[in-house]
Structure 1
Amino acid sequence: MTPEDRFPGPEHPDSGPRHQPDLDVLPYGTYYEPEPAAEYAGGGYEAETYSGYGGARYLEQHWPAAGPDHGHTVHAPTGHDGHDGHQSDDPPTIELGPPLAEPGLPYHPYPAPGPGEPPGPLYVVGDVHGYLDELRAELRHQGIIDADGHWSAGRARIWFLGDFTDRGPDGIGVIDLVMQLAAEAAAAGGYCRALMGNHELLFLGAAKYGDEAVQSTAGTASFLAAWRLNGGQQSDLERLEAHHISWLSRLPAIALEDGHLLLHSDTTAYLEYGESIAEVNDAVHDLLADEGVDEWWDCFRRFTKRFAFRGDAGPMAVRELLDAYGGVRVVHGHSPIPYLTGAVHADDGMPPHVPGPYVYADDLAVAMDGGVTMEGRLLVARLPV
């Protein structure tokens, strides 16, 4: 029995045709990453990715037996030094409770369980990229929302790993739903929280700085140009309101839950912003609040890196993050599983095969971006995987 037989994806409405996206790109060229640190040199960053799903085990081996939740080879392009040349990541902010839709209102921290009461189950959601119908269908399939789209998971906890917007048809609708569920979950004794993805930083930068020039390693560029190049939807920009900006700009970059280090991106760039989770979130929050366009751009550039956990040196990179920030396993979005594994599209035109979360890097990393933008899957998973 295959994992997809055990955990079938939901039947959901189609949000429209999906173009075959490239990985995130910067305008007027691609970002050239510096050489890896000496301890990683020759250690596998430049190694070919695994073909198909060999080298990692899937849901069937890792999913809790009691939980009801849960090779078409085209290698991803690489940059000058073996890293992927088109990359993406997340620049966020402070640790917070569930943000509310109304600006200025206090948020309510997750209530501690009573004596002898265990915390609710923990879920994570991969990159959504504006596919609101698919998100609703998968949340409904997992029992997290009811038929009317309202929180129905009691004390359950759920983290969105970032990238709500761009490429898909309704990024603002996705943000509105997550904000709604954050308030409803808090009222039920659970919580719904989110990390900021690189596309949130890009979206905020496009709204704040527009065509203002920034100096990039790929030449003069702007946030607006990069946002459009990476699937920015004009309808989202037109519907963006002050309370969306306030909510997005407060999202954390990194979090730790039940031993799971939650990140948007598979990069070690977080280490450049602090030695603890609080330092990283405060540093990015301060940058977004006070710094100028070039500092924003540099943050976006750093958090567009990817694939640090792949190859022979991948486990070492994961352990560096775990040693700094705690936890026993990293859970991330950002890099679509079909790109991580090298299985993108077959010659017969079939969509990529994504049975579920991808466990790799000596079982130290779990990838959650199911490639919804390329007709893969929008993944919602219960941890531990």
Structure 2
Amino acid sequence: MTPEDRFPGPEQPDSGPRHQQDLDVLPYGSYYEPPEPAPGYGYDTGYSENTYSGYGGARFLEQHWPTVSHQSAAAPEQPSEGAPEQPAAPVPPVPPVPQQEDPPTIDLSTLGGELQELQDLHYPYPQPEPGEAPGPLYVVGDVHGYLDELLAALHQQGLIDAEGHWSAGRSRLWFLGDFTDRGPDGIGVIDLVMQLAAEAAAAGGYCRALMGNHELLFLGAARYGDEPVQSTAGTASFLAAWRLNGGQQHDLERLETHHISWLSRLPAIALEDEHLLLHSDTTAYLEYGASIPEVNDAVHHLLSDEGADEWWDCFRRFTKRFAFRGDAGPTAVHELLSAYGGRRVVHGHSPIPYLTGSAHLEDGTPPHVPGPYIYADELAIAMDGGVTMEGRLLVARLPLN
């Protein structure tokens, strides 16, 4: 019996049929990869018989973390010496999430004074009282519109209750980006994250999010539509690229001003408890600044003041991937850590089945994703479980060992 058989994790809800996910593409159907290998990084664009799982002590973490009480930051009681071990309590089943024909956008007018908390993404975050430790830290991989799966995964970790409200006290929760596209309810996902941001702040914790390349693409489609932009594949447009990469028309139709304001101010990079949080597994962040504030300010300035071509170039850079896999992957991670701090990179963007070379199984069975994937000499943690390709939507408590 394997660890995954003993600890299977939450049963995934069924949001409808999934299609085999391709990596993000630019118009005309070509995969986006750098035209030349990045110097010193051994950039590999192929999917050969090598699976990369042997590089740098790569390994999976089974998706089984005990549900704990989040109302207190106190450490759990340790059994007294010589006391018999108690069996782990079974994880309660996740109740079914009620379906809605058209989930409404949350009414921000009902949030009162908490509205500013939703809009204010600047440092510093709420600090604990003197002598009080911060709450536990969690990260969420790419969601891509799969709201039911997100609710189930958050509930299984004890972060929300059965009604979908924050129940984790002072816990800290970071989403790694890519809320929309490919799945059935991207706006519903955004609404939930905004709601949890307000509820977590009221409880003394926080819920934050990074900007992914699909946020850049979605906002670009809404702002620039079919306006031509210059790309390496020729003349393209944000709207065409968004549709090509799983854009859902009903998400665009339900996008409102407060969604745009919130998405446009998301940071691109963050540092929490020695974990450098990124959306994309790329070193392109270094092209926007030598520190975390510089990178975030540069991206925000670009989104507010620059034109479509500059916006497109930012999307193109953050669509790069796989910089941390292969023999030179640890070198790329070290360059980011040297610039921005931290001891490990935690990222989404590249589905784990692609990182491990198991995306296209000959018998057509869904890829097996037991949990987060640790690789690059254990310097990188991949969190995109490939929910869009019948993998798994991953929520994990850091640190992972």
Q: Which residue of 1 aligns with 2:82?
A: none
Counterparts of residues 21-170 of structure 1 (less than 5 Å): 21-30=21-30, 31=32, 33-40=34-41, 43=42, 45=44, 50-51=50-51, 53-55=53-55, 56-59=58-61, 110-170=125-185
1:321 is displaced (CA, Å) by: 0.2
1:271 is displaced (CA, Å) by: 0.2
User: Which AA in structure 2 matches 1:351?
Assistant: P
1:110 is displaced (CA, Å) by: 3.4
Deviations 1:150-203 (A, max 9, x none): 000000001000000000000000000000000000000000000011001000
Larger RCO (alpha carbons 8 Å, 6+ apart) = 1
Distance (whole Å) between structure 1 residues aligned to residue 6 and residue 160 of structure 2: 21
Q: Which residue of 1 aligns with 2:345?
A: 330
For the structure 1 residues 46 and 21, does the alpha-carbon distance in structure 2 shift closer, same or farther, using more than 3 Å as the test? closer
Q: Is 1:9 matched with 2:24?
A: no
1:347 is displaced (CA, Å) by: 2.4
For the structure 1 residues 46 and 202, does the alpha-carbon distance in structure 2 shift closer, same or farther, using more than 3 Å as the test? closer
Distance (whole Å) between structure 2 residues aligned to residue 263 and residue 274 of structure 1: 14
Deviations 1:184-233 (A, max 9, x none): 00000000000011001000000000000001110100000000000000
1:2 is displaced (CA, Å) by: 3.4
- 5+ residue gaps, structure 1, are 71-98
For the structure 1 residues 260 and 347, does the alpha-carbon distance in structure 2 shift closer, same or farther, using more than 3 Å as the test? same
Q: Percent identity at matched positions?
A: 81
Q: How many residues align?
A: 355
Query: Counterpart of 1:324 in 2: which secondary structure?
Result: helix
For the structure 1 residues 303 and 222, does the alpha-carbon distance in structure 2 shift closer, same or farther, using more than 3 Å as the test? same
Counterparts of residues 184-333 of structure 1 (less than 5 Å): 184-333=199-348
1:59 is displaced (CA, Å) by: 1.4
Distance (whole Å) between structure 1 residues aligned to residue 223 and residue 145 of structure 2: 20
Query: Counterpart of 2:27 in 1: which secondary structure?
Result: coil
For the structure 1 residues 311 and 107, does the alpha-carbon distance in structure 2 shift closer, same or farther, using more than 3 Å as the test? closer
Dislocated runs of 4+, deviation >4 Å: 46-50, 60-64, 66-70, 99-109
- Contact 1:198–1:303 (CA<8 Å) still a contact in 2? yes
- Contact 2:52–2:355 (CA<8 Å) still a contact in 1? no
Query: Counterpart of 2:240 in 1: which secondary structure?
Result: helix
Distance (whole Å) between structure 2 residues aligned to residue 222 and residue 278 of structure 1: 30
Counterparts of residues 362-377 of structure 1 (less than 5 Å): 362-377=377-392
Q: Is 1:354 matched with 2:381?
A: no
Distance (whole Å) between structure 2 residues aligned to residue 366 and residue 57 of structure 1: 10
For the structure 1 residues 216 and 103, does the alpha-carbon distance in structure 2 shift closer, same or farther, using more than 3 Å as the test? farther
- Contact 1:260–1:328 (CA<8 Å) still a contact in 2? yes
- Contact 1:100–1:180 (CA<8 Å) still a contact in 2? no
1:21 is displaced (CA, Å) by: 1.6
User: Which AA in structure 2 matches 1:156?
Assistant: S
User: Which AA in structure 1 matches 2:126?
Assistant: P
Query: Counterpart of 1:118 in 2: which secondary structure?
Result: coil
Whichever of the two has the greater Rg, that structure is 2
User: Which AA in structure 1 matches 2:131?
Assistant: G
- Contact 1:126–1:378 (CA<8 Å) still a contact in 2? yes
User: Which AA in structure 2 matches 1:15?
Assistant: S
1:117 is displaced (CA, Å) by: 1.6
User: Which AA in structure 2 matches 1:189?
Assistant: G
User: Which AA in structure 1 matches 2:342?
Assistant: G
CA RMSD of superposed structures (Å): 2.7
- Contact 2:322–2:355 (CA<8 Å) still a contact in 1? yes
- Contact 1:44–1:312 (CA<8 Å) still a contact in 2? no
Distance (whole Å) between structure 2 residues aligned to residue 211 and residue 46 of structure 1: 30
For the structure 1 residues 211 and 142, does the alpha-carbon distance in structure 2 shift closer, same or farther, using more than 3 Å as the test? same
For the structure 1 residues 227 and 287, does the alpha-carbon distance in structure 2 shift closer, same or farther, using more than 3 Å as the test? same
Distance (whole Å) between structure 2 residues aligned to residue 18 and residue 62 of structure 1: 24
